[in-house]
Structure 1
Amino acid sequence: MKYNLFVLLLLTVSIGLRAQNQTSKSTVETKTIHSEILNADRAYTIYLPKDYANNPQKKYPILYILHGLSGVNTTWFEKYDVREVQDQLVASGESTEMIIVSPNAGGDPKTEWNGYFDMPGWNYEQFFYQEFVPHIESTYRVIGNKQNRAIAGLSMGGGGSTSYGQRHADMYSSVYAMSALMAMPNSSTPPKADDKFSLLSQSVVKNSCVDYVINATDQQKEELKSVKWFVDCGDDDFLLDSNIDFFRAMRKANIPVEFRIRDGAHDALYWHSALYYCLPFVSRNFKQ
């Protein structure tokens, strides 16, 4: 009889601990927002810290993380393991608990709009700042100030996050750019109205991150200094030269920036490894 009671007690405790562990795991959700600006539904994928559901009074810093060309909102989570890396870094004390969200700004470039800038037929930047950010920060428990907001991205998203940080410096404490599309040479051929990829290319030319620094006014340079910058690019990456150009422009303008050239190429392995630098970097620059 005593043995049976002991076994029952162990089972009860085990079930309770298992339930507690399940409710204390981080969660990843994919949701949809309707955009009046884009006249379309746009998906996003969001990571919520493990105690989000159990601590309803707590608000969190937020990282907006942008995917690359042909990527979508789930790419950071399904290909580069942002949830697993963040959980690991939080457990080791190297990263702080935060909300991480990735909006959809892409898909197959032959058929879908790609890009984080406004262009004919695709006013994505207006959507991002007028609809997406307000939706996220009113729907979820986000602290919602410059000191606790960061942005990062890879390739097309690396250029997008850098340009957003430049032109919206009042919103971000830090920017982490991976293998970033910092600039493109201007084409002598004007973009066609029905060619989504050529319109994207022209928008990158127009929003060159390198030219922004070179042409920045004294006031804009001071604004850039209010952001912590980190540029991370592989030594075999075809975008390395434009990342070096950006670093040189920032250095000439006396704007502090951390710059790393690591072993690697323009690929998933590199971006996965970059998270181990990115997440601690943005964590250090949050000021709760």
Structure 2
Amino acid sequence: MTVQYAAFFSGALFSRKVCCVYIPPGYETSDQSYPVVYLLHGLYGCQLDWTQKGSAAQTLDRLIQSGELRECIVVMPSDGEAGHGTFYMDWYDGTGNFEQYFVYDLVPYIDRHYRTVADRNHRVIAGLSMGGFGSCYLALRHPELFGAAASLSGALGSVSGMEEKMFDRSQFPRMTGPAAGPYARERDLHQLASNEAANPQRPSIYFNCGTEDYLFAMNTSFKQHLDSIGYAYEYESFPGEHNWDYWTEHLPDALRFLESWLAKQI
């Protein structure tokens, strides 16, 4: 197990950032290039969460050793570090360019400094809760970058579907502007899925959620929306709540999906 800490400068946020990078077992003794998995944290979290709370490095070691996952580089970044969480998007009120930080700073940095296969066929993304939203959001906004996305207990809701009182009392007006405005529509997860449904290069999507999770209804609503627009996906539900016991147990399900997608690429 090797996890490095990589420091880089973000021009989008004009600040230094750090991410955790899992290096596969054969990296140091070979000259080959590797696919990359981006693994996102949730609300109130940080780049250390998956390794310190979710045993991600041990899970990756185990799946690679058993042959259930190919050797890959796994990047665990911060969300940009603002407020309770950034949702990995550029904020309407100008607080920060968190999507640009991810797309134009982080991804190019990883491709420059590690031996990656730098194309969408070998770059995938996953995350939990807010990071589950982020994985689907970034993949749907940038299908040229990410070929597949996986969400665990994701906040897969739609701003346009939020109750007015809930929207007004949340951070979302700062993130998206008016719920019915063009900025919000361009970043609405349901709308993004609708936009990409007919695209032959649309990202493949997998999501799972615990049946006792407070976001379970949100996940089933996203499932129904994908059904209504004819967007193919894989969905599973398991007993469980919104906690690290669930995410640690079901990270392998997301990684196996991503492996099955990678296996189909040329």
| TM-score in same-fold range (> 0.5) | yes
Q: Does 1:42 pair with 2:17? A: yes
Asked whether the equivalents of residues 90 and 97 of structure 1 are also in contact (C-alpha less than 8 Å), the reply is yes
CA distance, structure 1, for counterparts of residue 25 and residue 42 of structure 2: 27
Residues matched between the structures, number: 252
Q: Which residue of 2 aligns with 1:228?
A: 204
Asked whether the equivalents of residues 87 and 130 of structure 2 are also in contact (C-alpha less than 8 Å), the reply is yes
Moved more, 73-82 or 164-173: 164-173
Q: Which residue of 1 aligns with 2:90?
A: 118
Which runs of 5 or more structure 1 residues have no equivalent in the other structure? 1-25
Cα deviation digits, residues 66-99 of structure 1 (max 9, x gap): 1001110111111101110011111111111100
Q: Any idea what SS the aligned residue of 2:171 has?
A: helix
Asked whether the equivalents of residues 69 and 106 of structure 1 are also in contact (C-alpha less than 8 Å), the reply is no
CA distance, structure 2, for counterparts of residue 108 and residue 266 of structure 1: 22
Q: Which residue of 1 aligns with 2:230?
A: 254
CA distance, structure 1, for counterparts of residue 103 and residue 201 of structure 2: 22
CA distance, structure 1, for counterparts of residue 41 and residue 13 of structure 2: 19
Q: Which residue of 1 aligns with 2:2?
A: 27
Asked whether the equivalents of residues 65 and 152 of structure 1 are also in contact (C-alpha less than 8 Å), the reply is yes
TM superposition outliers: structure 1 runs of 4+ over 3 Å: 106-110, 186-192, 199-205
CA distance, structure 2, for counterparts of residue 81 and residue 200 of structure 1: 35
Alignment of 1:157-196 (within 5 A): 157-183=131-157, 184=159, 185=162, 187=164
CA distance, structure 2, for counterparts of residue 131 and residue 108 of structure 1: 17
Alignment CA distance shift 1:200-1:99 (3 Å)? farther
CA distance, structure 2, for counterparts of residue 272 and residue 203 of structure 1: 31
Asked whether the equivalents of residues 68 and 153 of structure 1 are also in contact (C-alpha less than 8 Å), the reply is yes
Alignment of 1:1-288 (within 5 A): 26-55=1-30, 57-105=31-79, 109=83, 114-119=86-91, 120-183=94-157, 184=159, 185=162, 187=164, 198-199=171-172, 202-203=175-176, 206=184, 207-213=187-193, 216-217=194-195, 220-223=196-199, 226-286=202-262, 287=265
Q: Any idea what SS the aligned residue of 1:53 has?
A: helix
Cα deviation digits, residues 209-238 of structure 1 (max 9, x gap): 12433xx34xx2122763221110000111
Q: Any idea what SS the aligned residue of 2:38 has?
A: strand
Q: Which residue of 2 aligns with 1:16?
A: none
TM-score by length of 1: 0.81
Moved more, 197-206 or 242-251: 197-206
CA distance, structure 2, for counterparts of residue 241 and residue 42 of structure 1: 35
Alignment CA distance shift 1:245-1:199 (3 Å)? closer
Q: Which residue of 2 aligns with 1:11?
A: none
Structure number with greater Rg is: 1
AA partner of residue 35 (structure 2):
P
CA distance, structure 2, for counterparts of residue 139 and residue 77 of structure 1: 21
CA distance, structure 2, for counterparts of residue 168 and residue 232 of structure 1: 22
Deviation at 1:114, TM superposition (A): 3.2
CA distance, structure 2, for counterparts of residue 95 and residue 46 of structure 1: 17
TM-score by length of 2: 0.87
Deviation at 1:59, TM superposition (A): 0.3
AA partner of residue 112 (structure 2):
S
Asked whether the equivalents of residues 59 and 141 of structure 1 are also in contact (C-alpha less than 8 Å), the reply is yes
CA distance, structure 2, for counterparts of residue 233 and residue 189 of structure 1: 22
Q: Any idea what SS the aligned residue of 1:71 has?
A: coil
Moved more, 33-42 or 179-188: 179-188
CA distance, structure 2, for counterparts of residue 191 and residue 131 of structure 1: 32
Which runs of 5 or more structure 2 residues have no equivalent in the other structure? none
Asked whether the equivalents of residues 87 and 133 of structure 2 are also in contact (C-alpha less than 8 Å), the reply is no
| Cα-Cα RMSD | 2.4
